[in-house]
Structure 1
């Protein structure tokens, strides 16, 4: 995995700009896991990835990825490859496949 060395960065912090609309002083990182993981996937830097890997662990991140309602194609492919998650087991992939798109879009 790309971030295998996450244990070397135990003091990694999350960029507060990723969660700009929340008060991070009393933020429930456990309850808001999916939002945090999605923001890091979409906009995070390596330090943010180290933070969530140390905070949640690979198992929890995999669960969050499978539950996310939306990821763009690039992000979906990246996390599928990095975490060895089949696209078909991701909610965002299933939702995308069920959309009735116009034939030339």
Structure 2
């Protein structure tokens, strides 16, 4: 059982909390173009209903999972969370490979 098992049976209306994207004008917001920012904010600060809204917006859990792989930066704690919750390996995450490259560059 995962924390997102209820998603398929959830009947309530969901929308992404505007407070997650406080600096953007949401009346002219391109949800697809800025998908990495949206997903990053939801992972970092979102509620369960924010996840559900993003699943609905980005093609279900699988679509959201693919966007997670593209997110440029996440904290170690958030990386661990997405790896466990979405059955990902760290090496699949751009934020992890970028961190490894940065650490490698700084240590040389």
TM-score interval, smaller chain: 0.7 to 0.9
The aligned counterpart of 1:67 is 70
Structure 2 gaps, min length 5: none
In structure 2, the CA distance between the partners of 1:70 and 1:9, relative to structure 1 (3 Å rule), is farther
- The equivalent residue for 2:92 is 89
Structure 1 residue runs of 5 or longer lacking an equivalent are none
- Cα distance in 2 for residues equivalent to 1:37 and 1:62: 9
Q: Which has the higher contact order (CA 8 A, sep 6+)?
A: 1
When the two structures are superposed, what TM-score results if normalisation uses the length of structure 1?
0.87
Q: Structure 1 residue runs of 4+, over 2 Å off?
A: 99-102
Greater share of residues in helix: 2
Which of 18, 22, 26 in structure 2 is aligned with 1:20? 22
* Counterpart for residue 56 of structure 2: 54
Structure 2 CA distance for aligned equivalents of residues 27 and 80 of structure 1: 29
8 Å contact 1:10–1:54 — kept in the other structure? Answer: no
